[in-house]
Structure 1
Amino acid sequence: MLTGMHIAVIGGDARQLEVIRKLLELDAKISLIGFDQLDHGFTGASKEQIDEVDFSDINAMILPVPGTNGEGQVETIFSNEKVILTEEIIAKTPEDCVIFSGISNSYLDSIVSKNNRKLVKLFERDDVAIYNSIPTVEGTIMMVIQHTDITIHNSKVVVLGLGRVGMSVARTFSALGAKVKVGARKSEHIARITEMGLEPFHLDDLSEIVSDADVCINTIPHLIVTASVISKMPAHTLIVDLASKPGGTDFRYAEKRGIKALLAPGLPGIVAPKTAGQIVANVLSQILLEHHKREEK
């Protein structure tokens, strides 16, 4: 249990509701910042303005998946209040306060490191990424069905990257009857693609591979679907880019060529916010329980 632990949940979307619910089940004391328009009443959680919170009493701080923007503003779906996380706020927290975010940026990294606090980036963890690949794949299937006029069955699908998401995408589209080719650079990934019964290719050969592709799904977070690659695609090819912003596709050239290209990061929070929230909540609570046990010793 997290009895005696005071946690500030700052901003976020519907996923955070699952996090709040889980932490309250574990008997944590919760301060909600950026939730003043939330209709749901959570017994044991108090809605507060950021300048009302006594941060010297906070054991953990939970930010939304994106963390902050470059100026420290935190996304608040359930409030019109402008919430800014500053270096001064972090400085007020106890030395052992842990800050959680999905991802980070130079601003958040800077204000946390200047105060020598611990920042946990949940989306860099293998377990979170693998669990999240499930709603990501479902969202990708939904997009492909919506934006093509053919069945997935028997379609030619090119998947770029065999990371945690790429592997799930390739396996699932193959299970739906697509003819899947998977591009990678590492020899061990080429071996794994072969073992999965799929057709591997080296990313250097991408331009030739896409010449008959119905769908191209990218999971690699740097420019890989270039203008020269797009120029070799049939006019009907659909590009779905799952990499974090700005993606790995030359969207300007795709539009110029009339090829539909969709940037779709963050699909779990869009297609299955409850499940995505439970994934974050379960991993987060496990980390907090371990942290709480260490503090009690």
Structure 2
Amino acid sequence: MMETVLVIGGDRRLSFLAEELTGYFGKVVLCVETEDRGGRSSVNKHINIEACDADSVAEIMRQADIIVGPVPFSRDGVHIFSQGKEKVRIEEFCKGLREKQILFGGNLPAKVISEAEKKGVFCRDFLRMEEVEQENALTTAEGAVAEAIGLSVNNIHSGKSMVLGYGKCGKAIAGLLKEWGIDTTIAARSETALAQAGEEGYHTVLMKDMSDVISDMLFIFNTVPARVLKEEEISVLKEDAVIIDIASAPGGTDFAACERAGIKAVLSLGIPGRYSPKTSAEILLRAILEEREKMVEL
């Protein structure tokens, strides 16, 4: 395919994705500055990838047939998410869209979708694609558990774990813990979800009752994007317990209460891009190629 692809914003996974895209498209332009986990600037040096900065992105957008944005597309609602220092304003980005382009991104904001559709741009949200959601949940689970191990002073097999929420990411985290033989409890607001979790072999508790059992937990993973870990629950935790909160900002944990109690807790966002950027890029690549093939067939 001879289309021009613009990859904009994001983290290391988009740098890997740009590299992969060169094998399928005529021209790939990368407008992203990323850093590795050591905080060092990661400059893409592949000769098949052109580079542009925030000031020249509008010009490149006019040439692009496909635009690939980050996951999530934005974290502040104003700028396209970028791990680096350069930021592109969503408002300016929308001005550069043109008819018949294809826009990919994760959790595309409503105002971006609205402006894109007005201009005849086809929007494809990665996080609304079943296969991407499933694979993304698995990479998120691996990273969340890795982060918990790094944060704790305990071996993860030495204590009990709790997962709050039983959606895709909650199930993936619980599944990984189960494979490792770790005693795991699922806390959820839905009795239906708890019934399913019980059938899978987990201990279960309604979220409103979790204060009764959370004091036994050393590792707690929250996936619920609402304040569910309040001072009441945090005050009874073991002093060496850790909380990994992967819910959308601001998370579901009272981090101020954790600090007062001396509990280690982190809001861990963008795990796939930080822990497995190459694998995560391959997941997005497959989604792009599949969607592009569908559109060619129409």
User: What is the TM-score normalised by the length of structure 2?
Assistant: 0.85
Matches of 2:139 and 2:57, distance apart in 1 = 32
Q: Shift in Å at residue 34 of structure 1?
A: 4.2
Would you say 1:222 and 2:226 are equivalent positions?
Answer: yes
Partner AA of 2:66 in structure 1: A
Q: 1:166 aligns with which of 148, 153, 170?
A: 170
Q: Shift in Å at residue 19 of structure 1?
A: 2.1
Query: Structure 2 vs 1, CA of residues 34 and 189 (structure 1 numbering), >3 Å: closer, same or farther?
Result: closer
Residue in structure 1 matched with residue 60 of structure 2 by the alignment = 53
Query: Structure 2 vs 1, CA of residues 39 and 72 (structure 1 numbering), >3 Å: closer, same or farther?
Result: closer
Residue in structure 2 matched with residue 238 of structure 1 by the alignment = 242
Would you say 1:84 and 2:89 are equivalent positions?
Answer: yes
Q: What SS class does the counterpart of residue 156 from structure 2 fall into?
A: coil
Q: What SS class does the counterpart of residue 216 from structure 1 fall into?
A: strand
Instruction: Trace 1:181-220 onto structure 2 (pairs within 5 A).
Output: 181-220=185-224
Residue in structure 1 matched with residue 23 of structure 2 by the alignment = 25
Q: How many residues align?
A: 287
Would you say 1:250 and 2:254 are equivalent positions?
Answer: yes
Residue in structure 1 matched with residue 5 of structure 2 by the alignment = 7
Q: What SS class does the counterpart of residue 170 from structure 1 fall into?
A: helix
Query: Structure 2 vs 1, CA of residues 180 and 90 (structure 1 numbering), >3 Å: closer, same or farther?
Result: same
Residue in structure 1 matched with residue 77 of structure 2 by the alignment = 70
Q: Shift in Å at residue 199 of structure 1?
A: 0.9
Q: Cα RMSD between the aligned structures?
A: 2.5
Matches of 1:223 and 1:90, distance apart in 2 = 33
Query: Structure 2 vs 1, CA of residues 229 and 113 (structure 1 numbering), >3 Å: closer, same or farther?
Result: farther
Q: Shift in Å at residue 47 of structure 1?
A: 3.0
Would you say 1:40 and 2:45 are equivalent positions?
Answer: yes
Report the more deviating stretch, 126-135 or 105-114.
105-114
Q: 2:135 aligns with which of 122, 131, 138?
A: 131
Is the 1:58–1:93 contact (alpha carbons within 8 Å) kept by the matching residues of 2?
A: no
Would you say 1:264 and 2:271 are equivalent positions?
Answer: no
Matches of 2:174 and 2:81, distance apart in 1 = 34
Is the 2:240–2:263 contact (alpha carbons within 8 Å) kept by the matching residues of 1?
A: yes
Query: Structure 2 vs 1, CA of residues 35 and 215 (structure 1 numbering), >3 Å: closer, same or farther?
Result: closer
Query: Structure 2 vs 1, CA of residues 29 and 225 (structure 1 numbering), >3 Å: closer, same or farther?
Result: same
Q: Shift in Å at residue 194 of structure 1?
A: 1.5
What fraction of aligned residue pairs are identical, expressed as a percent? 26
Is the 2:104–2:126 contact (alpha carbons within 8 Å) kept by the matching residues of 1?
A: yes
Is the 2:19–2:46 contact (alpha carbons within 8 Å) kept by the matching residues of 1?
A: no
Q: Shift in Å at residue 253 of structure 1?
A: 0.9
Is the 2:164–2:224 contact (alpha carbons within 8 Å) kept by the matching residues of 1?
A: yes
Q: Shift in Å at residue 141 of structure 1?
A: 2.2
Report the more deviating stretch, 209-218 or 105-114.
105-114
Q: Shift in Å at residue 162 of structure 1?
A: 0.9
Query: Structure 2 vs 1, CA of residues 172 and 65 (structure 1 numbering), >3 Å: closer, same or farther?
Result: same
Partner AA of 1:29 in structure 2: K
Q: What SS class does the counterpart of residue 290 from structure 1 fall into?
A: helix
Matches of 1:177 and 1:171, distance apart in 2 = 10
- What CA deviation, in whole Å up to 9, does each residue of 1:63-84 have, x standing for no partner? 122324433455263xx65533
Unaligned runs of 5+ in 1: none
